[in-house]
Structure 1
Amino acid sequence: MQKQNICVLFILVLASSTILVSSQTIVKSLPGYPGPLPFKLETGYIGVGEDEAVQLFYYFVESEGNPDEDPLIIWLAGGPGCGTLRAFFFEIGPMQIKYGSYMDNVPALQLDPNSWTKVANIIYLDAPTLTGYSYTTTPDAVRSSDTDSAAQTAEFMRKFVRDHPRFLKNPMYITGISYSGIVIPMITENLYRGNDEGLEPKVNIQGYMGGNPLTDKTGDINSRLEYAYRVALISQELYEATQKDCNYNYAEADSNNLQCMLDIDEVNQRVGDINIQQILDPDCDPATNLVRGGNPITKGSRRILKENAIKMLPARSILTDGAVCRGVYYDYATLWANDKNVMKALNVREGTVKEWLLCNLDMKYNYGKPSMPQYEFNVQSSVVYHQKLTQRNCRALIFSGDHDMMVSHVGTRAWINSLNLSITDSDWEAYYVNGQNGGYKTTYARDNYTLAFATVKGAGHTAPEFKPAECFEIVKRWFAHRPI
């Protein structure tokens, strides 16, 4: 019966396939915000893949600075499978949620003073398929992978500038955070290669950017041990013993090596109650396994969402010790995005999305676990794509919150060093925001390729969420070709 219902759903969607062309809607107001929007917001769908069966939903905000000349960037969330509305509200978008306040029966919204839209035209894309409001028109198109997602996003970008020729000349950058670090360099190389092959339209691809980017899955997991030692979560004796007994390989340690397994168990006991995404935040998720698996994604309180009225969500979630759980903040976005009037304002196609989820857990990545029902993790490392891009006329920016243990700056610096670039004008030099130390930077180059790497002092895994002013200042300087 369930299979029959699924088939009926796809038949209904296909019956309206005459409208499944690239669609654009100018959104002038949104539930929760008083009055007209003070920026230009467009939403829409672009079909990609075979027969354009994958319909990718996007939010596009024109630059509030100089849209005709400012960069055109696409922002990809992590997961994979996390909706880009998370970036729109919590990371780099033009709006924030006013916690505990409501308007039009949804959480109230306010402007974000550190929105990256002040210096760039930004596409917030729900990708891969079945992320956010994106959907498919056939059952076969449901399953995706790292390589499929990268190819489809590159196709999306060419079609976007085809439909928006005004932005063909703007510098284009592929950007995102967390798991999107796997696909960002793949998409970027795909676009450069497409230009070489004469694909139309030719895009003005200039480079890419990654925030706390998962890049080399084994190396990034292995680096958690060194990071834990550096920030005093484990002792020097345990760190050195684990290195020796496991031969510096913890993510894929030999399960027959008893002493190594004992060391790893002891490490995991030491960090089991640490929030891996921001080591200073309260731990609101199950115990962390530091060096073997462990990639928690806050699910939000599904019970609260379903059982309580909209105004029952508190402004803050307080634990017994007075700590604040960040996950409840995301619940506000879930409530907002599932409101019928919100979907109508965004022009979400009726009947295509049963429920908007912050993250589609059917795609959740856990190191060492098999691929999920809807997603195949078929790229172990994207370093080879970074290496290819070093042969291009290309700019790269990588930034890492220095309190992130999930994808630590230790592992990120390791794969950057493997590119064998030359350090140019700064090596772990402090940069300043509003007169205060914002973190440390190193700049690299080879021929026409440049890479800037910066830590963000005090930030966690989604760095712009924790330190919005510092991250905004970094990208503002980088987009303007000024030193960080």
Structure 2
Amino acid sequence: MFSTNLLRRKCCTSFSLLLGTIVVLGFSSSQFFVALASAGSKVEYIPGFQHEGPLPFELETGYVGVGKSEDVQLFYYFVKSESNPSIDPIVLWISGGPGCSSFFALAEELGPLTFDVPKNNLTLPTLSLNPYSWTKVASFIYLDLPVGTGFSYAKSFKNYTSNSIETSYHAAEFLRKWLADHFEYQSNSFYVGGDSFSGMTVPTVVQAISYGIEARLKPLVNLKGYLIGNGFTFRMDHLDYLLRSARGFGIIPDELYQSIEECGGGTAPDMNYGLICQFKVGIFLVLSDINFGQNFLETNCYLQEENGVSSEQSSVAKRFRGFAVRALDRYFVCNGPKVSSRWANDGSVQEALHVRKGTIEEWEQCREDLPYHKTVFDSRPYHAILSQKGYRSLIYNGDGDLYVPSLSAEAWTKAMKYPIIDDWRPWFINNQVVGYTRTFSNNMTYAKIKGSAHIAPTVTPLECLVMFKRWISYEKL
């Protein structure tokens, strides 16, 4: 249970050791030479797409070899901007996990495709166009990172073991090699984005790319900044913000909240709770677990199954505060990984995507047994360094998330102690309040999205598209 893991996980980091490791890895001799990456392959048709003729957007897939002897082969999906790809920004998107394929972002979150609710479990799942795709205003490279994720693999080892720092330099090398092969985009503005666990990954990747720029590694990346949605940032083992959010959502009564606070709350995760305090925390965990951690408005999957909730009964196709929204159907909250796996493991699909045969045993949306070591436990030092270098950042949060509460994101962004140049205010779409925002002097913008969740674009797609479009265009939210 996730809430239990919050109590158990311990994390610490030495900032000086972290920087030393980065410098050593970042300036190893292998980083100074960029071989030309093999060209990607255009994808004109994909099985199951509910549209006559070729894809109405430009999709390319391929592999780029990185690391020693290019042993690691990173798989990517590149979707050109539907506006003006020659000048529009390009976003390198890395889904969380770690071990979740960025195909999720392409086909279930913010990309041009969206899965339809399947009619049965026998036929190939189908896909339709996503009317709220972020590719309307920017090009996206959806990268399967780290190695072992999605279709990415290592040639010499079946279970290649990687870590946080090595992965960041794999991504930086990938981007330089991709740019060497796609020279027409070398002047485009580049950003790195991701959500969930990528709150740890994205800042380290941006840092690795920035070190390459400072070392004048060719081709130079026109790096402008990064964006993170509901990202894990630091010490998520404490209960403090989770408790406050649960009280604010009405999941627990005020007397339980106050009594747990008297026990020490979540500010001292290593303290030895007495039996009474343990009992109170246990009640809190049970009440929280009834709700789906990514969105407190949802019922946890095991309870939906026990109560026999069908996809028709739980559809969230809705009209949200006056404008039409096509949100991801609740069916996919519990069944999305099964649907996407059935599609991605089909032979005709892999052939269409130009997947190399025999490189993986089975595609999984999120690989749980990923051979990966977490070696970064606090990304705030990276944010501080990147701010000093002048990079822009957007930190956004759906306010219905129990995994990464928006209260936590509000607190750590403000605790960086940069002057506020645009203080807390609502932001609007069609004269409706859809969230709140503030901007700091270090080019960091924080945005809260009302009624949203852990993977915000799946629940509030229009709001998130407008937020991204305004920010990437240097407009105020």
TM-score, normalised with respect to structure 2:
0.83
User: Counterpart of 2:470?
Assistant: 477
Q: CA deviation at 1:479?
A: 0.9
SS in 1 for 2:126: strand
Deviating runs (4+, > 6 A) in structure 1? none
Q: How does 1:4-83 map to 2 (within 5 A)?
A: 22-33=38-49, 34-83=52-101
Q: Which amino acid aligns with 2:149?
A: T
| d(CA) in 1 for partners of 2:310, 2:466 | 29
User: Counterpart of 1:227?
Assistant: 245
User: Counterpart of 2:436?
Assistant: 440
Aligned partner of 1:211 among 229, 232, 251: 229
Q: How many residues are matched?
A: 421
1:419 and 2:419 correspond = no
User: Counterpart of 1:341?
Assistant: 348
Q: Which amino acid aligns with 1:244?
A: E
Using a 3 Å threshold, how does the CA distance of structure 1 residues 387 and 255 change in structure 2: closer, same or farther?
A: same
User: Counterpart of 2:5?
Assistant: none
Q: CA deviation at 1:144?
A: 1.6
| d(CA) in 2 for partners of 1:220, 1:177 | 20
| d(CA) in 2 for partners of 1:194, 1:408 | 34
SS in 2 for 1:100: coil
Using a 3 Å threshold, how does the CA distance of structure 1 residues 456 and 231 change in structure 2: closer, same or farther?
A: same
Q: How does 1:283-298 map to 2 (within 5 A)?
A: 283-285=300-302
Post-superposition Cα deviations, 1:404-460, rounded to whole Å, max 9, x if no partner, equal 110111111121112111111231x11112332211111111xxx311111111111
Q: CA deviation at 1:259?
A: 4.5
For the Cα contact (< 8 Å) 1:145–1:378, is it kept in 2?
yes
| d(CA) in 1 for partners of 2:372, 2:177 | 24
1:316 and 2:311 correspond = yes
Aligned partner of 2:375 among 374, 378, 396: 378
For the Cα contact (< 8 Å) 1:444–1:450, is it kept in 2?
yes
SS in 2 for 1:106: coil
| d(CA) in 2 for partners of 1:329, 1:358 | 9
1:454 and 2:414 correspond = no
For the Cα contact (< 8 Å) 1:246–1:253, is it kept in 2?
no
For the Cα contact (< 8 Å) 2:238–2:266, is it kept in 1?
no
| d(CA) in 2 for partners of 1:315, 1:257 | 42
Deviates more, 1:211-220 or 1:350-359: 211-220
What is the percentage of aligned positions where both structures have the same residue? 35
For the Cα contact (< 8 Å) 1:101–1:108, is it kept in 2?
no
For the Cα contact (< 8 Å) 1:42–1:61, is it kept in 2?
yes
Q: CA deviation at 1:247?
A: 5.8
1:356 and 2:363 correspond = yes
Using a 3 Å threshold, how does the CA distance of structure 1 residues 69 and 357 change in structure 2: closer, same or farther?
A: same
For the Cα contact (< 8 Å) 1:72–1:121, is it kept in 2?
yes
For the Cα contact (< 8 Å) 2:239–2:265, is it kept in 1?
no
Using a 3 Å threshold, how does the CA distance of structure 1 residues 408 and 259 change in structure 2: closer, same or farther?
A: same
| d(CA) in 1 for partners of 2:287, 2:445 | 34
Using a 3 Å threshold, how does the CA distance of structure 1 residues 222 and 139 change in structure 2: closer, same or farther?
A: farther
| d(CA) in 2 for partners of 1:248, 1:105 | 48
| d(CA) in 1 for partners of 2:454, 2:387 | 26
SS in 2 for 1:458: coil
Unaligned runs of 5+ in 2: 1-35, 315-329
Post-superposition Cα deviations, 1:326-370, rounded to whole Å, max 9, x if no partner, equal 22244222211111011001000000121111110114xxxxxxx
Q: Which amino acid aligns with 2:333?
A: R
SS in 1 for 2:74: strand
Aligned partner of 1:389 among 386, 390, 394: 386
Q: Which amino acid aligns with 1:442?
A: R
SS in 1 for 2:225: strand
SS in 2 for 1:89: helix
Using a 3 Å threshold, how does the CA distance of structure 1 residues 45 and 273 change in structure 2: closer, same or farther?
A: same
Q: How does 1:41-440 map to 2 (within 5 A)?
A: 41-100=59-118, 106-139=124-157, 142-218=160-236, 222-246=240-264, 248-249=266-267, 252-255=269-272, 257-285=274-302, 316=311, 326-363=333-370, 374-427=371-424, 429-440=425-436
| d(CA) in 2 for partners of 1:72, 1:111 | 20
SS in 1 for 2:384: helix
